[in-house]
Structure 1
Amino acid sequence: MAKSATDLMQEILFSTVLDSIVALKDASNGLPNPLLRELNSIHPNTTYADLPREVQSAIATNVRSAFTRLLKEGYSVSPGTEPRRAPPAASAPTHRPRGGERRPPRSGGPGPKRGPGSGSGPGNKPPRRP
């Protein structure tokens, strides 16, 4: 009888955790203080590179064997396909106007005139009246 994917993944993860604990013990050479130090250095933000070489090796071996075991059990192990994006709408412009081309005004009229003496900011002072 074929195992469910959940049962199979639980077995794989359980054996991986046990192998990693054994690898931690091997990394400490059987001494309690280094083992405690290694255990205390593991936290939620620990990266793969932060782990001892023995644990990295155990994880790499377990990952390879997990994929092999999944394939033997008949499960497909392949990258998922990304959903295709819809093509852009035909009404959207396909190019930007260049320097010499004129753009149509954004609103109904030409807008406020901007020139020397208009607006606010340094250098744009209103003209003095006599």
Structure 2
Amino acid sequence: MPRAAQDVMQSLIFSAVLDAIAALKSASGNLPNNLLRQVQAIHGNVTMADLPKELQDAIAASTRAAFAGLLKEGYSVAPRDAGPARPAPRQGELVARGVDRTPRPSSRGPRSDGPRGPSGGAPRGPRGDRPSGGPPRGPRGPRTPRQD
């Protein structure tokens, strides 16, 4: 009976973690202080080159074993681009070109006017050079006193 993908992945990850811990122990020479120092050096931004050589080797071996285990269980492992080729569309058949044409729910409801406003003219928005839409500012002319 074939095992579920979740069970296969769980066993592969479990064995990879155990192998990594054993590699850290051997890299520290079974000294508790060295082991603690190496474990504390592992963080979210650590790179493969920053890890001890024994741990790097254990990760590489676990990765190879994981792919072999997936293939042994009957799961296919391939890059996304290497998927099965799709047959050419028949004449007159519509083809989706990566555009999702499913309607999306809107929180505001449908628009009653088109994209150019209610009158169908130019789109609403700021005019002029300034973000506020007013005319461009420049030096003002001479001020004249108000005549009451």
TM-score over 0.5 (shorter chain): yes
2:129 corresponds to 1:126: no
Can you list the C-alpha shifts for 1:16-37, whole angstroms capped at 9, x where unaligned? 0010001101111122211111
- Alignment CA distance shift 1:13-1:126 (3 Å): same
Q: Distance in 1 between matches of 2:15 and 2:97?
A: 38
Look up the match of 1:3: 3
Q: What TM-score results when the alignment is normalised by the length of structure 1?
A: 0.63
CA distance in 2, matches of 1:39, 1:128: 75
Q: Which contiguous aligned blocks of 4+ residues in structure 1 show a shift greater than 4 angstroms?
A: 81-84
Give, as a single letter, the amino acid of the residue that structure 2 aligns with 1:66.
A
Query: What is the rounded CA distance, in whole Å, between the counterparts of 2:97 and 2:70 in structure 1?
Result: 28
Equivalent positions of 1:22-37 (< 5 A) are: 22-37=22-37
Secondary structure at the counterpart of residue 70 of structure 1: helix
For structure 1, which runs of at least 5 residues remain unmatched after alignment? 87-105, 113-117
Any idea what the Cα deviations from partners look like across 1:38-93, whole Å, max 9, x if unmatched?
A: 1122233433332212111111111111111111211011123599524xxxxxxx
Return the letter of the residue paired with 1:24: L
Deviation at 1:128, TM superposition (A): 7.7
Aligned to 1:75: 75
2:98 maps to 85
What is the TM-score of this pair, normalised by structure 2? 0.56
Deviates more, 1:30-39 or 1:9-18: 30-39
Partner Cα separation in structure 2 for residue 119 and residue 70 of structure 1: 66
**In structure 2, distance between residues paired with 1:85 and 1:126:** 57
Instruction: Give ranges in structure 2 of 5+ residues lacking alignment.
Output: 84-95, 100-121, 129-134
CA RMSD for the aligned pairs? Answer: 3.2
Distance of aligned partners of 1:84 and 1:50 in 2 relative to their CA distance in 1, 3 Å threshold: farther
Q: Determine helix, strand or coil for the equivalent of 2:2.
A: coil
Describe the superposition over 1:94-119 as per-residue Cα deviations: whole angstroms up to 9, x where unpaired: xxxxxxxxxxxx67xxx88xxxxx84
Letter in 1 for 2:141: P
SS in structure 1 of the partner of residue 80 of structure 2: coil
**Alignment pair present for 1:66 and 2:66:** yes
